[in-house]
Structure 1
Amino acid sequence: MAKIRIGQGIDFHQLTEGRDFWLGGVLVPHHKGALGHSDADVLLHAICDAMLGALSLGDIGVHFPDTDNTYKNIDSKILLARCAELIAEKGYQVVNIDSTLCLQAPKIKPYVPQMREAIAGILHLTVDDVSIKATTTEKLGFVGREEGVVALASVLLEAGV
C-alpha cells in the first residue's frame, strides 16, 4: 500500500498599483499586482505551503523568509521547484493539485492553461494533474473591493520516489 499525505495551503496578498501580477507562474496583464517580498505569486505560494504542510515541514516563510534579501523579488517558480526538492528529499512526489483563486478581477480563464502547464512542468506532472479554479467574492470584502487576492491549494503526495 502506497504511503500518501495530503496538505493544504492558503495565501493572501494585497493588490497595489505599479506591480506585475504573477499568478501560477504566469504574468497576467492587470492594472494592479500583488505586493510581497518575492514576486508575490499567491497561487504558487499556496501550493508550496500545501506541499510543505503535507510533510510537516513548516511553511514557505520558514524556508524562504521575507527577512532574507536572497528572496527579494524572486520568481516564485524557483520557490516551487525548491519545495519539490524538499519533498523529494523526504521520498515524496506530488500526485495532484486542486487549487482555487479568489479575485474580483481580472478574469483569469484565458491564463489557466498556461498556469497549469507552468506548474506541471516544474513538478513533473501532466496538466491533468493540476486543477486551477477561480471565483469572485461577489464584490464582498477586500477581495471584492480589489484590494487583495487569495489562493487555496490542496496537494496529494505519494511516497516512493
Structure 2
Amino acid sequence: MRTGIGFDTHRFSPGIPLFLGGINIPFDFGLLGYSDGDVLIHSVIDSILGACSLGDIGDYFPSSDSDFENISSLILLEKTNEIIKKSSWDIVNIDATIVAEKPRLKKFVGEMENSLSIILKISLDQINIKSTSTDGLGMIGKGEGISVLSIATVQK
C-alpha cells in the first residue's frame, strides 16, 4: 500500500465556468487553466500518480500539447485511471481539501464525490472531499483563486 500527495492552485478569471470535481459550480468567476482549470481533479490526479510513482499530471497531459486545451479534467482523470490500471494499481482511498474563501462549497461536496466515484470506478466510501477557507489570509483569502490538497492511497 502506498500514498501520494497532490496540490494545485488556480487563479480566478471572469467569463469562464467554475468546475470542481467535474461539477459546474454557479459563480461569477472560473479558474484559469490550460484545460478546464478543475483544480480539484488536477490535485487528485497528482496524488494518484504520485502514489504509484508514475510522475505527475504534466508528464501525461502537458500544457504544450494542444490536445489538452480546454479539455474536461474528467477525461484526464479517466485517462489517469487507465494509466494506473496498466501498472496493476487500485485506488484504496482519496481524501481532498478544497481551500477557497468563496464560493461556499459544502453543498456541492456530495456531487463532487459522486462524480469522482463514477470516473474512478470506486465506491463513495473511498472518497472524502472537504472545504475550508483561510479566514481572509493570503491570495485565497483575498478571493483570488482556489487551492486543493489531496492524498491518494493505492495498492496492487
TM-score, normalising length from structure 2?
A: 0.98
Equivalence map 1:1-161=2 (5 Å): 4-159=1-156
The alignment partner of 1:118 has SS state of helix
What is the distance in 1 between the residues matched to 2:70 and 2:154? 28
The alignment partner of 1:45 has SS state of helix
Give 1:126 deviation, angstroms: 1.2
Amino acid at match of 2:54: L
Give 1:158 deviation, angstroms: 1.1
Amino acid at match of 1:143: I
Amino acid at match of 2:127: V
Give 1:54 deviation, angstroms: 1.0
What is the distance in 2 between the residues matched to 1:55 and 1:124? 17
The alignment partner of 2:125 has SS state of helix
Amino acid at match of 1:153: S
What is the distance in 1 between the residues matched to 2:96 and 2:88? 23
Give 1:148 deviation, angstroms: 1.3
Give 1:19 deviation, angstroms: 1.3
Equivalent pairs: percent with the same residue?
40
What is the distance in 1 between the residues matched to 2:13 and 2:138? 16
Q: Which structure 2 segments of 5+ residues have no match? A: none
Q: CA RMSD in A?
A: 0.7
What is the distance in 2 between the residues matched to 1:128 and 1:57? 25
User: How many residues were matched structurally?
Assistant: 156
Give 1:16 deviation, angstroms: 1.2
TM-score, normalising length from structure 1?
A: 0.95
The alignment partner of 1:156 has SS state of strand
What is the distance in 1 between the residues matched to 2:55 and 2:14? 31
